[in-house]
Each structure stands twice: as structure tokens, then as C-alpha cells.
């Protein structure tokens, strides 16, 4: 499994799940991001996440297909 770290922007306490999928280049566009979430293909911290706009915070781990994304806080 490919592991990636995604750093939030300075001042952002979270990122919405569909935005994360796009920003991490796991999907091509927002429509695809929404589709994969609704279909139950995205796992957050070991559980299927069905909320498209779930607030993903530092420490969360998102798994989609063969990639695990670890979300980390912005460096100050």
C-alpha cells in the first residue's frame, strides 16, 4: 500500500473529505470524489466514511484503493 502525508494549509484546522481526495490526487474531479465516498469506497481511521464533507483533521488516516493518506497539521 502506498502511504502519503498530506499537510493542511496554515490556519486550516481541517479539510473536507472530498477536497482531500482531490488535493491528494486520488480522484480526477469533485464528481468522482463524491461518487467514491457515497459508494463506501473510502475508509477513515478503519471505518467506512459516507459523509462527503466530513471534517478530516490532523491524525486522521484515509484509505482509498491502494493509498493511505495521513493528514498532518501545518508547520508553524
Q: According to the model, what pLDDT value does residue 76 have?
A: 62
For 45: left if phi > 0, alpha if psi spans -120 to 50, otherwise beta; the answer is: left
pLDDT category at 60 given cuts 50, 70, 90 is: very high
Give CA–CA dist 58/61, Å, rounded: 9
**Region 26-41 average pLDDT:** 98
Give CA–CA dist 54/52, Å, rounded: 6
State yes or no: pLDDT of 38 exceeds 70: yes
54 lies in which domain range?
A: 2-72
Our count of domains for the chain comes to 1
CATH of the domain at 6: 3.10.290.10
Least confident residue range of 1-5, 37-41, 72-76: 72-76
**Region 35-55 average pLDDT:** 98
Amino acid at each position: 500500500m502506498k502511504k502519503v502525508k498530506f499537510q493542511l494549509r496554515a490556519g486550516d484546522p481541517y479539510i473536507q473529505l472530498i477536497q482531500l481526495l482531490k488535493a491528494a490526487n486520488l480522484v480526477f474531479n469533485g464528481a468522482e470524489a463524491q461518487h467514491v465516498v457515497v459508494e463506501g469506497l473510502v475508509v477513515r481511521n478503519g471505518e467506512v466514511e459516507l459523509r462527503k464533507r466530513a471534517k478530516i483533521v490532523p491524525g486522521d488516516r484515509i484509505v482509498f484503493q491502494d493509498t493511505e493518506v495521513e493528514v498532518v497539521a501545518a508547520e508553524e
